[in-house]
Chains A and B, each alone.
Chain A
């Protein structure tokens, strides 16, 4: 028999991950206005795109002087893993009707990780929805706080906001570097980026790196079919031995 919602382990973990993740919406909001987007454009990304990695990718390309087309391309490519997550969640939830659209919108690293960490199907559902909806509400709220604060700060460089963006990208990458191969892919793509920066317009080096990563993934398939880097970037269950809590 399922426990009450107040004692549900899935809902509890979902709520704590929602608070932790929602809070860093502040950094997205502040960095987005620093990159040149308006408060409304920033909020549109949090409301409608709602995928941390893709949102940071969009503003990261814009901040570097890239075109909006390159920014949208980087965001789209970084969102591809969400399709795989969606397929996994569909197997667990079987949402029907409008719920399918709602579930798709809140399918992100954190909601997937919370859900798949539970064994009871009822808890898997609760974990997914509590984490997904909780993060959506808090992420949007704190995006607004961050963008209004960022707007008031003035010169972003004086406050080191360009350094904050670097730190944010490294923090998104870090938990995915669990294996030697993941590290090698990261180095190869970083190198491809640095080598192409002087020769192509801003934003394009990131797409060149995406091609390199895609080729390594496709042709290096035999070296490890585990879906390298496809594990969600959060672990809501840090008690598991041998793993650590990230973000």
Chain B
């Protein structure tokens, strides 16, 4: 299947997941263990996506300007900067470090 196909699959699954909450009996999802897994999955996936986008280049690990972006973003978040500012700081750090000659 093409990229378009999988985009539409992701959209359909995403909507049905939301709708499920409105359709299933309340006790299914108030099961604390299910709710807990939904929470740990969210943390685990976001942590994984963060680090994969920082150090992975295909199947190899690389230290480059993106690591600087991660540190700069962490500092911005520590200073309670809003989302869009954090993203711009990350971009500026990566672009700046590349100007200085980092890969």
The smallest beta-carbon distance between B28 and chain A, in angstroms, is 8
Q: Is the CB of A163 within 8 A of B65?
A: yes
B70 touches which of A57, A167, A194 (Cβ 8 Å): A167
**A214 to B56 alpha-carbon distance, docked (Å):** 23
**A57 to B68 alpha-carbon distance, docked (Å):** 21
Classify the interface of chain B: helix, strand, loop or mixed.
helix
**A91 to B25 alpha-carbon distance, docked (Å):** 11
Q: Is the CB of B36 within 8 A of A193?
A: no
**A69 to B59 alpha-carbon distance, docked (Å):** 17
Contact residues in B for A167 (Cβ distance below 8 Å): 69-70, 72-73, 76, 86-87, 89-91
Asked if A212 lies at the interface with its beta carbon under 8 angstroms from chain B, I say yes
Q: Is the CB of A163 within 8 A of B29?
A: no
Contact residues in B for A71 (Cβ distance below 8 Å): 6, 10
Asked if A187 lies at the interface with its beta carbon under 8 angstroms from chain B, I say yes
**A177 to B29 alpha-carbon distance, docked (Å):** 23
Contact residues in A for B73 (Cβ distance below 8 Å): 166-167, 170-171
**Interface residues of A, count at CB 8 A:** 113
Q: Digit string of A149-182 for contact with B (CB within 8 Å is 1, else 0)?
A: 0000000011111111111111111101100001
Contact residues in A for B65 (Cβ distance below 8 Å): 160, 162-163
Q: Is the CB of B10 within 8 A of A54?
A: yes
Given contacts A41-B4, A60-B49, A172-B46, A205 and B38 within 8 Å (CB-CB): no
Q: Is the CB of B3 within 8 A of A163?
A: no
Asked if A128 lies at the interface with its beta carbon under 8 angstroms from chain B, I say no
**A88 to B12 alpha-carbon distance, docked (Å):** 21
Q: Is the CB of B45 within 8 A of A213?
A: yes
Which residue of chain A has the shortest Cβ distance to B6 in the bound complex?
A: A68
**A71 to B8 alpha-carbon distance, docked (Å):** 12
The smallest beta-carbon distance between A139 and chain B, in angstroms, is 12
**A123 to B43 alpha-carbon distance, docked (Å):** 30
Q: Is the CB of A165 within 8 A of B80?
A: no
Q: Which of A6-14, A113-121, A217-225 lies at the binding interface?
A: A217-225
Given contacts A76-B17, A79-B18, A174 and B47 within 8 Å (CB-CB): no
User: Within residues 65 to 96 of chain B, which ones have a CB less than 8 A from any CB in chain A?
Assistant: 65-66, 68-70, 72-74, 76-77, 80, 82-84, 86-96
**A91 to B65 alpha-carbon distance, docked (Å):** 47
The smallest beta-carbon distance between A60 and chain B, in angstroms, is 5
Asked if A144 lies at the interface with its beta carbon under 8 angstroms from chain B, I say no
Given contacts A164-B88, A171-B73, A210 and B55 within 8 Å (CB-CB): no
Subset of 7 A-B contacts with CB under 8 Å? A20-B83, A44-B11, A76-B17, A77-B45, A80-B17, A171-B77, A225-B33
